[in-house]
Amino acid sequence: MFTDQQSFEIVVKHIKKFPETLVVLGSGWSKVLDGAKIEKEIGYKELFGVSATVPGHEGRLVIAKIKGKRVAFMAGRFHTYEGYTSRQATTPIRVFAKAGMKKLVLTAACGALNEKFKVGDFVILSDVITLFLALDNPLLGPTFIDVSEVFDKALREKAVSTATKFKIPFHEGTYVYYHGPNFETPADKMALRFLGADVVGMSIVPEVLVARSLKVDILGLSFVTNLAFVKHDHLEVLAEANKASGKMVKMLTGLLT
């Protein structure tokens, strides 16, 4: 994988003015690009020296206009379960923040731990549990950043009003990061629920820490693909996420424009 500086130089060579908003598209969320007017696409291999390889995750940066609003999209992301350190997995966040990104919308699939949440519900994240990054924190040095409010209040309110407007079923809740690549054991899930998590997933949190350290405003949006306590597999996760792509497009379009 390239260094931050190498990737930064490639970005600025291709993109004169980096958009203010970046959306990281998780499993199933890429459909939003179908209705977008694409200005530029750069594959991750060219940009970062490696491509994202997990089924359901493409790997390209897309600069596009959605209803006239110019936005950057990451179609696919790097995950720690692919063998990257959380610092490597968050290279795009540091690079794009340096290039001019000020707002970050993180989307991802999740499993529901809260028994009130159902498959197909959206979750507007109110907080994250960072504990499981203790041995692989993406931040370096004595930065001691404040994380008392990781998600931006105005963006959260806009997400709530957009979901309400489009009658998209949603909850607000706490996301816990689980390294993977295996799903959690029943005992893990009970432990994570006991810690206060409503949903569990394998991304978002490293990106949140890095973006907060760079003073980027963040919105976390997750989609419940499975009930964590019920047996499930990756294909089912992708199938559920794809089923809801219409709602995801509405949600993102409403949020961004």
Among 52, 211, 226, 241, the active-site one is 226
Is 81 one of the catalytic residues?
A: yes
Active site residue 202: yes
Task: Compare residues 73 and 183 and give the one whose CB is closer to ligand HPA.
Answer: 183
Q: Are 96 and 19 in contact (CB under 8 A)?
A: no
Q: Which residues contact 182 (CB under 8 A, 6 or more apart)?
A: none
Catalytic residue check, 137 = no
Does the active-site annotation cover 27?
yes
Give yes or no for a contact between 80 and 29, defined as CB atoms under 8 angstroms apart.
Answer: no
**β partners of residue 125:** 173
Q: Which is nearer to ligand HPA, 128 or 202 (CB)?
A: 202
Residue 208's SS3 state is helix
Report the interface residues with ligand HPA, using CB under 6 A.
Answer: 109-111, 178, 183-184, 200-202, 225-226, 228, 237
Indicate the DSSP class of residue 117: -
With CB atoms as reference, the residue minimizing the distance to ligand HPA is 111
Catalytic residue list contains 203: yes
Q: How far is CA 112 from CA 116, 119, 195, in A?
A: 9, 8, 14
Least Å distance between CB 127 and ligand HPA?
Answer: 17
109 is annotated as an active-site residue? yes
- In whole angstroms, the minimum distance from the beta carbon of 236 to ligand HPA comes to 9
Q: Are 204 and 102 in contact (CB under 8 A)?
A: no
Of 109, 163, 211, 241, which one is the catalytic site residue? 109
User: Residues with catalytic annotation?
Assistant: 27, 57, 79, 81-82, 109, 202-203, 226, 234
